Amino acid sequence: MPPEVRQLAARYQLLEEVGQGGMSRVYRAIDSTLQREVAVKVLLPHLAPKADARRRFDREARAVARLRHPNILEIFDYAAGDDTELPFIVTEFIRGETLRVFAERVRFLPTELAAMCGLFIAKALAHAHAAGVVHRDLKPENVMVRADGTLKLMDFGIATLIDRDERMTATGSLLGSPAHMAPEIIEGKEADTRSDLFSLGTLLYWLATGKLPFEGSNAGALLKRILDGDYRPAQLSEPAISDGLAAVIDGLLMRDPARRVQSADAVVAQLSALIDDAGIEDPSTALAAFFVDPATQAVTLRSRLVSRFTERGERELKAGRTATALAAFGRVLALDPQNAPVRARLSQVRKRARLRRRLLETLAVVAIGGLGFSLFQHWPWAPEVIVATPVLSAAVHLAENPSPTPPPALTSTPAKPDPDTPPQVVHAVSRAPASHATPSPAVLVPFELKPRTYAHFWLDERDLGDSLPKYVGQAKAGPHHLRAEHPCCAPLVKTIELEVGKPNHFPIELVPLPASVIITSAPGAQVLLDGKPAGTAEASQRTPIQVPMIVDGRPVMERQIVLRVEKDGHRSEESTQRLHAHTRYDFELPIRAE
């Protein structure tokens, strides 16, 4: 034991060194007063005289000391001021391994496992941000997986305190991990909570795909790719990723912080909705079980998801919602490429589509002038145009090709995206077989955008203006980058393919942002939303309750909820409210005696 550390011996019995970072050593120790196992982090002796090192160490101690959350490493004691001979921090001792070590050994498949992991990290960030702390160095090495399967966010060594009365920043040097660093930090701008969310996006991408979104042959090349927003869409790196998770990742990796997801609470709401949609009722228990027994739990979850999405596909097909049914079947084949019943079902759907196509071709031959055109437009069996994600494209391909090799659309390199809007690649396909003829790029073809709600459109960064109920225009045949935005929703970015001789109708569905709910009631009153605990009324005053705009797995612009509060056996009247997307609500719910 270094002689400088002996000053701690009065209370902490240092047993062994368990780690060393750039600024400190970490020891496993026993707190002789409370008789518990702890970790003692000690500033390296040669750094103790340096003012900047002391400030960084002191910043970490004060940052973590204000945080109390089940997914954040708890601090018990610290001494880091100028009057301390050798600064130290005492925290809970975690028996386990880092998320980096675990994920390099075990894949997070199905990717709902990655979503659950991201959910609890987002919850930890939401708590830290509410306390005025920006982590600034979120990466897999700074997340511990405890032996019981609990995630713990740690190492706030370069955290920034953002209270209005204290704004300590680490300026003058590039601190953090380049592969997970937000572009604004690279540019030397001040980090804020959205910088942590960008890092969360890189971590989610890595968990779901097994690859980093931004890579380069050297640090300079890596940083340039981050600044350019140049990354491969997640579903091209891992086709098994659900559309919802891919959209969350894209929202987190937005180059411009103003267009990025704006709060960790919003990420919690989005990931919670995805996990609910997958039928996972208790993500905490499910994720902990996966960490303890990954092989068994991954197989069990995959089987449950296959059953759930197969049933959904059949239900949607029976209701006549073919596009939604195919998306569900596509999810099944992404999870289980050899699923024979779903392959057969998709083959039946494709055969019906070919029959409709032949009927239309026959009608086109015999149609005369305006009468034929009118019949074509109003023919009741006109082929439905489906917006297909890579998962859906995989479903169609796998239904017709027994080989599990993914189709070219899943492995081809997409056109270079705009730096501010890395696109989620989405191909528009007809259910009828595509023509093998290559259209001339100079040919202008008509197209129609049909949003479910008001939206503002850009095509290849050309402003198309607002659109409701639809936008009709024309552009050259071939691929185009489409962007749709509305203040109430997350931005939608995708690639559409305009084809000669095809309808080129594209339904557009934006993902509504959660509503925010604030409850005024008795101190300590528990809020119940649709019968489920949603925190306390007092906590909602600091961090509003986020209500996802999802009903039966589908995004909606408004939804109805039932609120009540309870405390000490007493409760309020139930209050039924209709909420709209991205809107803040204040409700007063007094408790009445039973």
Q: Are 54 and 115 in the same domain?
A: no
Which of 474, 489, 509 is the C-terminal boundary of a domain? Answer: 509
Q: Quick one: pLDDT at residue 169?
A: 37
Are 424 and 538 in the same domain? Answer: no
| pLDDT: which is higher, 57 or 427 | 57
Q: Are strands 511-512 and 515-520 parallel, antiparallel or unpaired?
A: unpaired
pLDDT value at residue 119: 96
Overall number of domains in the chain = 4
Map tokens 């596909």 to a residue: 313
Indicate whether 318 belongs to any domain: no
pLDDT band of residue 7 (cuts 50, 70, 90) is low
Helices and strands: H and E segment counts in the chain: 17, 31
Asked whether the beta carbons of 454 and 468 are under 8 A apart, the reply is yes
Tokens read off for 140: 């897999």
For 150, 161, 175, 334, 432, the CA distances from 351, given in Å and listed in that order, are 49, 61, 58, 21, 9
∠ Cα 112 116 300 (to 5°) = 50
Range of the domain at 576: 514-588
Asked if residue 124 is part of any domain, the answer here is yes
pLDDT for position 424: 42
Pair 274, 379 in one domain: no
Q: Please give the Cα distance from 345 to 325 (Å, whole number).
A: 10
Q: Which residues contact 148 (CB under 8 A, 6 or more apart)?
A: 288, 292
- Considering the chain, what is the average pLDDT of its residues? 78
pLDDT of residue 457: 85
Look at residue 479 and tell me whether its pLDDT is greater than 90. no
Q: Is the pLDDT of residue 554 over 60?
A: yes
Q: Is residue 315 part of a domain?
A: no
pLDDT-based confidence at residue 14 (cuts at 50, 70, 90): confident
Q: Are residues 237 and 376 in the same domain?
A: no
Quick one: 355 and 441 in the same domain? yes
Fill in the DSSP letter of residue 524.
Answer: T
Q: Which residues contact 145 (CB under 8 A, 6 or more apart)?
A: 96, 97, 98, 99, 102, 151, 152, 291
pLDDT at 2 over 80: no
* Residue 69: pLDDT over 70: yes
- In the three-class reduction of DSSP (H, G, I as helix; E, B as strand; rest coil), residue 426 is classed as coil
Q: Which of 291, 246, 253 is nearest to 271 (CA)?
A: 246
Question: Which of 31, 61, 93 finishes a domain?
Answer: 93
Asked if residue 556 and residue 501 are part of one domain, the reply reads: no
Residue at 31 is within a domain: yes
Q: What is the pLDDT of residues 83-142, one digit of tens each?
A: 667 788 888 898 889 999 999 999 998 999 999 999 999 999 999 998 888 888 899 999
CA–CA separation, 394 and 95 (whole Å): 42
User: In whole angstroms, what is the distance from residue 202 CA to residue 213 CA?
Assistant: 6
Q: Give the range with max mean pLDDT: 59-63, 361-365, 482-486.
A: 482-486
Task: Provide the pLDDT for residue 63.
Answer: 73
pLDDT at position 65? 79
In a domain, 204, yes or no: yes
Known catalytic residues are 137
Q: Percent of the chain having pLDDT more than 70? A: 77
φ/ψ of residue 490, rounded to 5: -75, 140
Q: How open is the CA angle 48-51-55, to the nearest 5 degrees?
A: 95
pLDDT in tens, 158-179: 555 444 333 333 333 444 578 8
Q: What is the pLDDT of residues 571-588, one digit of tens each?
A: 888 889 989 888 888 888
Q: Are 267 and 401 within one domain?
A: no
pLDDT at 390 over 60: no
Instruction: Count CA atoms closer than 13 A to 372's CA, side-chain side.
Output: 10
| pLDDT band per the 50, 70, 90 thresholds, residue 410 | very low
Domain identity same for 344 and 219: no
End of a domain among 93, 113, 141? 93
**Average pLDDT over every residue of 217-245:** 85
